[in-house]
Structure 1
Amino acid sequence: MLRLGGTRRPVGGNYDVVIIGAGPAGLAAGMYAARLGLKTVILEKTMKPGGRTANAPVVEDYPGIERISGEELVDRFYKQAKKFNAEVVFGMEVVDLDVSGDVKVVKTKRGAEFKAYAVIIATGLSSKGLGIPGEKEYFGKGVSYCVVCDAPFFKGQPMALVGNDDHAMEEAVYMTSIASKVYVIPHADKIEASESFMNILRNSPNVEILEGARLVKIEGDGQKVTKIVVKLPSGEEKEIEVRAVFISAGEAPTTEVFKRAGIEVDKAGFIKVDPRMHTNVPGVFAAGDVTGIGFQIVVAAGHGATAALEASKYVKQLKRVKKVQLT
């Protein structure tokens, strides 16, 4: 179990670097930054670290660790960051930033104000769920928002893919080599995906595309998903036995507050970064899923380490060359 040792009170103060988000990217950044001698604080809006990773029942694709729960992996990240004296403050939702000068100011919903030379944004993504019965209850028990992460756990079993765009169809194609049967449920009037993906799916013997169908319910035995209920265009409801349901209704980066502060994002809202995790604002870096790159734990951790290394160089230059002081 995760043992939380972070501060929860509305505090604030001066730091070398403020990291926003305590998922794999943020925790890795915190561990590296603190180990490099930077006074480091990690702000997490929820009351526990890990983000979506903490909810993963099993992780098998993190190098050097054959099999581990997401919660335990995050716990290791968290302890390592704390070992090097990174502060972790829970319940701190960032609502405003001023990154226009050498001294960055980060303000939270609870009234705390943090000043720093550098900021690392690692706020990840928010999955767009469907809000249907059984979705929340069976999350981690057959319901997932990441095909690449979790489909291999259900190899040789029937699965459903819910979505209607290119990304969803690409995931369905990937599933054809893993599942005994793939049911494609658009959850929309029509599928809006490229013909290249659709041709592969239409010619795959283990794929059934339910045009115009919508997912209305996910059912199980309390421990695992056993079937779904879909509503066909005719209005008829149909039960389908599946072991896993992958929902590809989209994920959104939580970047509006950063966009308002002048940090550039792309059309989808992902923060734009260069290969060294620099944003368009000097002293502001971004790491992990919020950049729209990779969407894997190991990638996020690598981003966090890179951002911290770059932040360290930036902070030391401000102190030594420009003689900037926090006030």
Structure 2
Amino acid sequence: MSNVIIIGSGPAGISAALYTTRAGIDTIVIGKDYGALQKASEIENYYGFPNPISGKQLIEGGMEQAKRLGAKILSDEVVGLSYDEKLLVLTKDGEYSGDSVVIATGTSRSTPRIKGLKEYEGHGVSYCAVCDAFFYRGKDVAVLGNGEYALHEALELLSTSSSVTILTNGKELTTNVPSNINVNTDVIEAFSGSEILKKVIFQNGNSMNISGLFVAVGVAGSTDLAKKIGASTENNRILVDSNMATNIPGLYAAGDCTGGLLQISKAVYEGAKAGSEIVKYIRSINKKSA
């Protein structure tokens, strides 16, 4: 049966799910938490509510509506996106393949404010292990982060790099790291080098030579996931056409991750547009394979 995987259980993701489930497409929505909207205690500018409603209430109502229509809602952390005959969504606890995928995870997080991090982007600092591991074959690399996403990137680098070290920047690890991956918990002072990154300097005065740094702080953001599969991005947003489609067939994006007006109404519209276009897309590929 044709299916769609929706990453993000906020207004954009759930809105897309309402359209795909009603069209008879098997739909899985994967979300780690309620996102930034859960912090909104009162929403007064969304159509249809005479009295204020909290972000948490709005999300829970949307999720119940999607489940009633037949969508499967999973609580899990997405750590990767790839392609193997079908689009493949990798999570902390498993993997899911789909004919189509929607990225609806809101805006990407900001990068840590560490001296040298921005300066060496593209010159030793990367945000995608699967994209750039090739350039660091046989070299010593590091991953900045302390959770499942950082571990996923480190595991991706193991097969090509000479050594892989997770830099937690003073934070406690929130995942179990295998013995073949090094861990350094020191607070970072700066990243340094000449034209390319060569070293990480810690606040305690110690330093470590590295040829590459992969940033994987917190959870995988929208543009992080898009880049892993070659989707076009610009600054902090995923580039889509008027149908919410990316440059990768079957991959769509909706909501805050596409930029523009960061409002619930915009997210709901884009989710609805993505969902309806996915219905057309899947029907067209089914017709070709019939």
Superposition TM-score tier, normalisation by shorter sequence: 0.5 to 0.7
Aligned-pair identity in percent equals 37
Q: Return the offset for 1:120.
A: 0.6
Q: Give ranges in structure 1 of 5+ residues lacking alignment.
A: 1-13, 132-251
In the TM superposition, 1:70-219 aligns within 5 A as 70-90=55-75, 92-99=76-83, 101=85, 103-110=86-93, 112-126=94-108
Equivalent-residue separation in structure 2 for 1:106 and 1:129 (angstroms): 23
Q: Are 2:5 and 2:102, in contact at CA under 8 Å, matched by a contact in 1?
A: yes
Equivalent-residue separation in structure 2 for 1:286 and 1:130 (angstroms): 25
Look up the SS of the partner of 2:233 in the other structure: coil
Structure 1 length normalisation: TM-score?
Answer: 0.52
Q: Return the offset for 1:25.
A: 0.6
Look up the equivalent residue of 1:83 and give its one-letter code: R
Q: Are 2:40 and 2:56, in contact at CA under 8 Å, matched by a contact in 1?
A: yes
In the TM superposition, 1:1-327 aligns within 5 A as 16-46=3-33, 50-66=34-50, 67-90=52-75, 92-99=76-83, 101=85, 103-110=86-93, 112-126=94-108, 254-266=222-234, 268-323=235-290
Equivalent-residue separation in structure 1 for 2:42 and 2:231 (angstroms): 35
Partner of 1:136: none
Q: Are 1:15 and 1:114, in contact at CA under 8 Å, matched by a contact in 2?
A: no
Equivalent-residue separation in structure 2 for 1:280 and 1:33 (angstroms): 21
Aligned CA-pair RMSD:
2.3
Look up the SS of the partner of 2:47 in the other structure: coil
Q: Give ranges in structure 2 of 5+ residues lacking alignment.
A: 114-219
Look up the equivalent residue of 1:106 and give its one-letter code: V
Equivalent-residue separation in structure 2 for 1:123 and 1:68 (angstroms): 21
Equivalent-residue separation in structure 1 for 2:60 and 2:264 (angstroms): 14
| Pair 104,128 (structure 1): closer, same or farther in 2 beyond 3 Å | closer
Q: Return the offset for 1:116.
A: 1.0
| Pair 41,71 (structure 1): closer, same or farther in 2 beyond 3 Å | same
| Pair 283,126 (structure 1): closer, same or farther in 2 beyond 3 Å | closer
Q: Return the offset for 1:285.
A: 0.4
Q: Return the offset for 1:106.
A: 1.3
Look up the equivalent residue of 1:113 and give its one-letter code: E
Q: Are 1:253 and 1:270, in contact at CA under 8 Å, matched by a contact in 2?
A: no
Q: Return the offset for 1:109.
A: 2.1
Equivalent-residue separation in structure 1 for 2:47 and 2:20 (angstroms): 22
Equivalent-residue separation in structure 1 for 2:103 and 2:88 (angstroms): 13
Q: Are 2:100 and 2:282, in contact at CA under 8 Å, matched by a contact in 1?
A: yes
Look up the equivalent residue of 1:263 and give its one-letter code: A
Partner of 1:210: none
- Size of the aligned set, in residue pairs, is 183
Larger radius of gyration: 1
Look up the equivalent residue of 2:273 and give its one-letter code: T
Look up the equivalent residue of 1:78 and give its one-letter code: M
